[in-house]
Amino acid sequence: MAVFTAVRTQDQNDYSETNARLEDLVKDIPGYLGMDHAQTPGGLGITVSYFRDADALTEWRTDAEHRAAQKLGQAEWYQSYSLHVAKVERSHGFTRAEDAQSPTAD
Amino acid sequence: MAVFTAVRTQDQNDYSETNARLEDLVKDIPGYLGMDHAQTPGGLGITVSYFRDADALTEWRTDAEHRAAQKLGQAEWYQSYSLHVAKVERSHGFTRAEDAQSPTAD
């Protein structure tokens, strides 16, 4: 997976359009599994992208449109960012049972 | 590193206090390197915790207060979450030069 943490600049011209375009593009990468994103208003944004293997991530990393967007990101949109590429060793999840907070009478 | 993505419930009693306590506690784990957090209002929160090695992460995972908080999280605070433990393979960062967006006259 790839973990991208970023603080943006004031200059967000074309950011949304490019971001939407990249979100479409990455779906065409074989082995792309999905993405999670959280954005603190006026603060840090974190995007986690999940890929089946290193090859899938390499294909995305070297995509021409993606690379052009990275250059624009450094030139305009990002104050700072860091990218960590990491191999998932274990995962687990939790989903609340629907009635967990409103138990029925018996 | 550990990547925790979570959607919270309406019931956030004691969440902030517990969270602040855990943020203090984790700093005492040898090998803890830091944390990044982003929170979309009313949406997803992502917390990335960085540890030097698997031993440091195991020590945090098995900390008694941390485990008690995890139980409260499932009982009250989280609608759903997922945790991915991953080994960082490579990283890079970018920080904008201070005058990159306001070049001087010469």
The predicted-structure confidence for B37-81, as pLDDT tens digits, reads as follows 999 999 999 999 999 999 999 999 999 999 999 999 999 999 999
pLDDT at B103 over 60: no
By three-state DSSP, how is residue B96 classified?
Answer: coil
By the 8 A CB rule, do B89 and A86 touch? yes
ipTM of predicted assembly, 2 dp? 0.90
Q: For A59-79, how does the pLDDT look when each residue is reduced to its tens digit (9 = 90+)?
A: 999 999 999 999 999 999 999
Distance from CA of B98 to the nearest CA of A (A): 9
pLDDT at residue B100, rounded to an integer: 53
Question: Per-residue pLDDT for B99 more than 70?
Answer: no
From first to last of its 106 residues, chain A has per-residue pLDDT tens of 999 999 999 989 999 999 999 999 999 999 999 999 999 999 999 999 999 999 999 999 999 999 999 999 999 999 999 999 999 999 999 999 875 555 444 5
Question: What's the pLDDT at A99?
Answer: 59
State both tokens at B63. 């900390």
C-beta atoms of A82 and B101 within 8 A: no
Contact B40 A37 (CB under 8 A): yes
Is residue B81 within 8 angstroms of chain A, CB to CB? Answer: yes
pLDDT band at B98 (very low <50, low <70, confident <90, very high): confident
List strands edge to edge, sheet with B32-39.
A32-39, A44-51, A2-8, A78-95, B78-95, B2-8, B44-51, B32-39
Report the percent of chain B where pLDDT is more than 90.
89
Domains of chain B: 2-85 (3.30.70.100)
Evaluate whether B30 touches B56 at the Cβ level (below 8 Å): yes
